[in-house]
């Protein structure tokens, strides 16, 4: 067992399989439906779409509480008393999770916390890369691992394309007029994660299959992404033909490996169904 245990939130969308493979501990964020609050990842994401269709409202999302982290940190420390904990956090400007973890880590000197300034697949890419590094170098200190994570997060590039702006409109993030125009004109804003914030940058126009492939080409060339792996994320409802086209485009761009993950409740609530995103590391 490595002397460092990695921790992330469910908002990273790290799959149970990857978490198990690399012994990554996942702390739940939360999704609230009226008076019912559930752990992210503990229910089918279709529930979010059904709730919106039924009520016209979106669920509310919330970050991990200090109690969530106290419970997780204490369980890890009890199981691995000699290990250090490296918590690689969901973007601190978007949720309270990072601050909650800092509160929980008081008087626990075996915890190191770093804000990845990423969400979803961007955060997952960093966490898994560090997990692989620790697997290759089990002697690595937590300080060296934290330094490696800091380097990676400075080079992590992530963006996503909503299929439409309906969920963003329902959440008050865009106006009715903008959402309607987007639907009529098939406009898909590229939402990039810049310094931890979700920022709409370039606008793509056309069917999702076309713009998803264009996004991969543009993003790969603009940021000179390393070709060893490209992470792809999707929300429920993305057609298989779009996933196939995205994979073919990534291979044409020279990516050696493609890693898909499905977004869970937090990301689905904000991005809506049939959204598509990518993440990778800049080679510059």
Q: What is the pLDDT of residues 182-200, one digit of tens each?
A: 454 467 888 899 999 888 8
Arithmetic mean of pLDDT, 91-116: 96
Q: What are phi and psi of 141, to 5 degrees?
A: -80, 160
The per-residue pLDDT for 111 is 98
pLDDT band of 126, cuts 50, 70, 90: very high
Strand 187-194 and strand 156-161: the pairing is antiparallel
Q: What is the pLDDT of residues 20-29, one digit of tens each?
A: 999 999 999 9
Q: Tell me the C-alpha distance between 163 and 239, whole Å.
A: 11
Greater confidence (11 vs 168) lies with: 11
Q: Tell me the C-alpha distance between 198 and 94, whole Å.
A: 8
DSSP per-residue letters across 227-239: SS-EEEEE-TT--
Nearest Cα neighbor of 118 from 152, 77, 145, 144 is 152
Strand 36-39 and strand 25-27: the pairing is unpaired
HSE, CB side, 13 Å, CA atoms: give it for residue 101. Answer: 28
DSSP letter at 48? H
Q: What is the pTM of this model?
A: 0.94
CB 103 within 8 A of CB 128: no
Tokens linked to 261: 């993950």
pLDDT band of 173, cuts 50, 70, 90: very low
pLDDT band of 168, cuts 50, 70, 90: low
Arithmetic mean of pLDDT, 41-62: 93
The per-residue pLDDT for 130 is 98
Q: Where is 258: in which H helix or E strand?
A: strand 258-262
CB 13 within 8 A of CB 267: yes
The per-residue pLDDT for 176 is 42
Strand 36-39 and strand 30-33: the pairing is antiparallel
Mean pLDDT of all residues belonging to the chain: 91
Greater confidence (215 vs 167) lies with: 215
Say which residues have a Cβ less than 8 Å from residue 173's Cβ, sequence separation at least 6.
270
The per-residue pLDDT for 131 is 98
The per-residue pLDDT for 177 is 38
The per-residue pLDDT for 244 is 97
Query: Dmax of the chain from CA atoms?
Result: 58
Nearest Cα neighbor of 229 from 129, 148, 133, 139 is 129
Greater confidence (154 vs 179) lies with: 154
| Residue whose structure tokens are 């966490």 | 127
| Residue whose structure tokens are 């000179």 | 224
pLDDT band of 271, cuts 50, 70, 90: confident
């Amino acid at each position: 067992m490595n002397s460092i245990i990695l921790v992330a939130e469910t908002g990273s969308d790290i799959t149970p399989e990857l978490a198990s493979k690399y012994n990554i501990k996942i702390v739940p964020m939360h999704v609230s439906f009226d008076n019912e609050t559930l752990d992210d990842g503990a229910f089918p994401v279709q529930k979010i779409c059904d709730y919106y269709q039924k009520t016209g409202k979106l669920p509310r999302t919330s970050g991990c509480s200090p109690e969530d982290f106290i419970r997780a940190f204490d369980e890890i420390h009890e199981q691995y008393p000699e290990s250090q904990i490296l918590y690689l956090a969901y973007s601190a400007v978007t949720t309270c999770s990072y601050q909650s973890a800092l509160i929980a880590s008081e008087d626990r000197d075996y915890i190191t916390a770093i804000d990845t300034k990423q969400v979803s697949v961007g955060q997952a890419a960093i966490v898994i890369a560090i997990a692989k590094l620790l697997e290759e170098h089990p002697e690595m200190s937590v300080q060296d691992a934290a330094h490696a994570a800091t380097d990676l997060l400075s080079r992590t590039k992530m963006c996503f394309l909503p299929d439409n702006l309906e969920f963003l409109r329902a959440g008050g993030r865009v106006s009715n007029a903008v959402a309607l125009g987007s639907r009529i004109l098939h406009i898909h804003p590229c939402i990039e994660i810049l310094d931890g914030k979700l920022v709409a940058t370039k606008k793509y126009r056309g069917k999702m299959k076309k713009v998803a492939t264009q996004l991969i080409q543009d993003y790969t060339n603009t940021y000179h992404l390393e070709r060893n792996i490209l992470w792809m994320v999707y929300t429920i409802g993305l057609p298989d033909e779009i996933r196939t086209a995205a994979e073919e485009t990534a291979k044409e761009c020279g990516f050696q490996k493609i890693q898909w993950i499905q977004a869970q409740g937090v990301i689905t609530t904000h991005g809506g169904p049939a959204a598509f995103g990518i993440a990778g590391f800049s080679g510059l």
